[in-house]
Structures are given as structure tokens and as C-alpha cells.
Amino acid sequence: MVGLNGHELINKPNKPNKLNELNKLNKLKYVMTNGDKKILVVGGAGYIGAHMVRQLVNARCDVVILDNLSTGSRKLVHGGEFVQGSLGDSNLLDRVFGAHPFDAVMHFAAFSQVGESMNQPLKYYRNNLAETVALLDAMVRHDVKRFIFSSTAAVYGEPVEIPITELHPCAPTNPYGATKLAVEHMLADCDAAYGLKYTALRYFNAAGADESGEIGELHDPETHLIPIVLKAATGQIDHIQVFGTDYPTTDGTCIRDYVHVNDLAQAHLLALDALLGGGESAVYNLGSSNGYSVKEVIGKAEVVTGKKIAVVEAQRRPGDPAILIASSEKIKRELGWTPAYENLEKIIRTAWNWHLKQILNVQHRTLNSLCSAIL
């Protein structure tokens, strides 16, 4: 189907866990009342954005996805109206905002590789900061007053205390974290000047995939630990490198806090619900509040996959803290966020299901190509 200005309407059936979805939706007071809410999701073809779109569609929201596909994939978009384009295109933004009376905007359109941000800082300031300025400018022009921002734990920099709360000093050590923090400052100024209310959600380590296996993590290149470990389990790579085994932790490897991507999306829904109900601007951490070492992640992956994963030990990477664990008590207390995937093995199992489906899809395409060649 085709929507406004020839943009494609995608109506693929979702297959959620019905009980889990019902429990999540029951917490929403405003998202599902007084008609379908119209939400713009920028970066909605990316890993986290695509899971957000899926949950918004399940909540009967009217969703428009704007993505330039520089890092996203069309095959991750399930539902809504898709518009391909850049946040830096003010004419496009005016057409989109002019055609849709949005109740809120959700932002997932940032570049997010820490190492790349060190080597190409201007790429990050242009995309993450300048293009967000253009988006907020359009929101002000079209009187859209609610904004949900995908921020990051990288705004904190080196931790001075564990677990990390929202009151922890913000001192980012790389341009990626600096651009995210700059947007948070800009949002606070927009609230003061224009009454634009926002929620900034500071993620720790997003992981896992939707239980349907239809959407999941799809990065090129892949830099996240769990999908790299699973690629080693499938034989797509020979081994995984462990950077540093001499940290002051129980097994010498870094400890991180992993949160399931659907739990992240659920937190966004709760934040949206709060803003729709007249809530004030806020900042929240999103993590599981549990820490797992690199070796523990590998061990859990071996249990889930039934495969032995080859490990090569390497030197520490500069700037890698020994331990990063979030305190998510604030969002649990204020918005009632309850993660459904607090068990790491369960998180990895959803990611493994996604990886296996991708391999089967490749095999099916190869077989179909061979059959077509023979015929």
C-alpha cells in the first residue's frame, strides 16, 4: 500500500507474546485513549527503533517512520508509514509535519560507535547534534511539544561510583557521548524556551531480539558483544577477542549491564504515556541493574547455543572501564517500568533465535536461486 506522497505503508502482521503484550499495554493510561496517537519515529529502521515501532503498532498508535537507511534496514520495519529521508532536509521535515498532526516524536537516529566517533568526530556532531537541531526546529515550527530521546550511558564517562544513578556526574570521554549530552542540554533549553517536554533515556547495553524472530540486531560492522559471540557460535567468525583479562573483577574481564531491546521499547512507551498525561521533562537510566563479565556472557552463550566458542585474549582497549552497572530505580519508581528479561540467558536466547532465522533465510534464498538457475 502507498501513503502520502508515495511513501510506503507497511502492514505486516505482528506475532507478539500475547500475554506479555497485554500486561505491557495495561500499564498505559493515555497512549491508547482518545483515539490513536500519531507518533513520528526517526531512525525507526534501526535496531532499537524497529522494536519501538513494533510496540507502538501493537499499542494501536499511528506511526510514521523517517529513516535515511544509512545504518538501518527496511526489512526491520514492520508496520506504519515509511519515509526515506534525512533529518537535515528541512523541506522534507515540513512536508512530513505538515501532513501529520504528531502527538510526539521519538528519536533513534544517532550514530553510536564510540571508536568511530573518536576518529570522525565531525560525522557525529553533524548527524547526532546538527540534524537533531533541524528536527527540533521543525517541531517548534509545527507546535509539536513531546520528545522521547534515545540517550546513552556514555554521557557519564568514567564511573566514580557503582551502580550509576542519574545524579552521577556527566563527563563523556568520547564525541559520541558528548553529542548525546549536548542534545540533552539542548532539550532542557527547548523546554524552558518553548515548553517542549522531553524524556531522555540513558541506555546501558541493549541486547536481544523480539521473540518472534522477525526483527533483531543487524549492524554492519557489528561491534556489540552478544551478536559477535553468536557469530562465533555459528561459525561466521573463527573466534571472539576478549580485550583485557586483568581487570579488578572476579574473572579479570569487564562487567557490563545488559537490557533487552523490548524492555527498552517498553520504557519508551511508559515515557510517552507520562508525557501524554501532562508529565514534566525527565531523565532516566535504563539497565537491568545486574552486571555480567565478558567471560560470563560467553559462558551463557555456550549454554544457549550448545557450541564451544573459541576465545583469543587481547590487550585492554583504552578507556574501557572495569565495571558499568546502572541503577534503574528512578524509572521503576516513577513510571512503573518492570523489565521482562532480567535473566541474561533469556536475553541471549532471543538473540540466538534471531541469528538462526537469518541463517535459514540466507539458505532459503540460496536454494531458491539454485532452483531458478536449474529451471
Closest to 59 (Cα-Cα) out of 47, 51, 68: 51
Residues of the chain with pLDDT under 70: 1-26, 34-35, 360-375
Question: What DSSP string describes 309-365?
Answer: --EEEEPPPTT--SEE-B--HHHHHHH----S---HHHHHHHHHHHHHHHHHHHHHH
- DSSP single-letter state for residue 173: S
Q: Check residue 21 and give its pLDDT.
A: 55
Give CATH for domain 4-212+259-295+321-343. Answer: 3.40.50.720
- Sign of the CA dihedral with 106 first, then 281, 36, and 51 last: positive
Q: Tell me the pLDDT tens digit for each residue of 290-320.
A: 999 999 999 999 999 999 999 999 998 877 8
pLDDT at 31: 84
Q: Are 324 and 255 in contact (CB under 8 A)?
A: yes
- In one-letter notation, the amino acid at residue 41 is V
- Tens digits of residue pLDDT in 320-334: 888 999 999 999 999
Type and span of the H or E element at 292: strand 291-293
pLDDT digits over 221-255, tens only? 778 899 999 999 999 899 999 999 999 999 999 99
User: Which pLDDT value is given to residue 32?
Assistant: 72
- pLDDT value for 319: 72
pLDDT for 34: 64
Q: Round to whole Å and give the CA distance between 132 and 110.
A: 9
pLDDT at 28: 83
Q: What does the buried/exposed string (b/e) look like for 193-228 if buried means 16 or more CB atoms within 10 Å of the residue's CB?
A: eeebbbbbbbbbbbbbbbbbbbbbbbeeeeebbbbb
Catalytic residue numbers read 176
End-to-end CA gap in the chain: 32
Q: Cβ contacts of residue 163 below 8 Å, gap of 6+?
A: 289, 325, 326, 327
Residue 340's closest CA among 151, 211, 203, 162? 211
What does 130-161 look like in DSSP terms, one character per residue? IHHHHHHHHHHHTT--EEEEEEEGGGS-S-SS
